[in-house]
Amino acid sequence: MISSLKLARLCGVSQGTVDRALHGRPEIGAATRKRILDAARRYGYRPNPQVRELLSGKSRLVGGIVPAVNSIFFVDLFNEIKNELGKHGYRLFLTPVSDEAEFLECLEEFAARRFAAVIVVPPRDNIPIPESFSRETAVVSLLSPCHGNKTHFIRCDEVKTGRHAVDFLFAQGHRRILHLTYSRRAHGILAREKGYRMRMSELGLKSAVLTDPGVALLLTNVRRKKFTAIFAHNDWLAIAAIRTLEQNGLRVPTDISVLGVDASPTLMALYPNLTTLKYPFAQIAGNSVRVLLGKRAHKIAPTFKLKRGGTVCHL
Partner DNA sequence: TTGTAGGCGTTATCAC
Partner DNA sequence: GTGATAACGCCTACAA
Which residues are at the interface with DNA (CB under 7 A)?
3-5, 12-17, 19-20, 22-23, 26-29, 32-33, 46-48, 51-52, 54-55, 57
Q: Is 88 in the site for a copy of itself (CB under 8 A)?
A: no
CB of 22 to a copy of itself, least distance (A): 13
Cβ-based nearer residue to DNA, 15 or 126:
15
Q: Is 15 in the site for a copy of itself (CB under 8 A)?
A: no
CB of 244 to a copy of itself, least distance (A): 10
Q: Is 148 in the site for a copy of itself (CB under 8 A)?
A: no
Residue type, 203: L
Distance between CA 289 and CA 45 in Å, rounded?
31
Distance between CA 120 and CA 107 in Å, rounded?
9
Binding site partner of 4, from a copy of itself, DNA, none, Cβ cut-off 5-8 A by kind? DNA
Cβ-based nearer residue to a copy of itself, 31 or 269:
269
Binding site partner of 128, from a copy of itself, DNA, none, Cβ cut-off 5-8 A by kind? none
Distance between CA 7 and CA 140 in Å, rounded?
40
Binding site partner of 313, from DNA, a copy of itself, none, Cβ cut-off 5-8 A by kind? none
CB of 136 to DNA, least distance (A): 11
46 contact partners, CB below 8 Å, separation of at least 6: 1
Q: Is 135 exposed, middle or buried (0-12, 13-18, 19+ CB in 10 A)?
A: exposed
CB of 29 to DNA, least distance (A): 4
Binding site partner of 90, from a copy of itself, DNA, none, Cβ cut-off 5-8 A by kind? none
Nearest to 306 by CA among 267, 277, 271: 277
**Binding positions for a copy of itself, rule: CB under 8 A:** 1-2, 42-44, 46-51, 53-54, 68-72, 75, 78-79, 82-83, 91-96, 98, 108-109, 111-114, 130-133, 136-137, 236, 239-240, 243, 246-247, 265-266, 269-271, 273
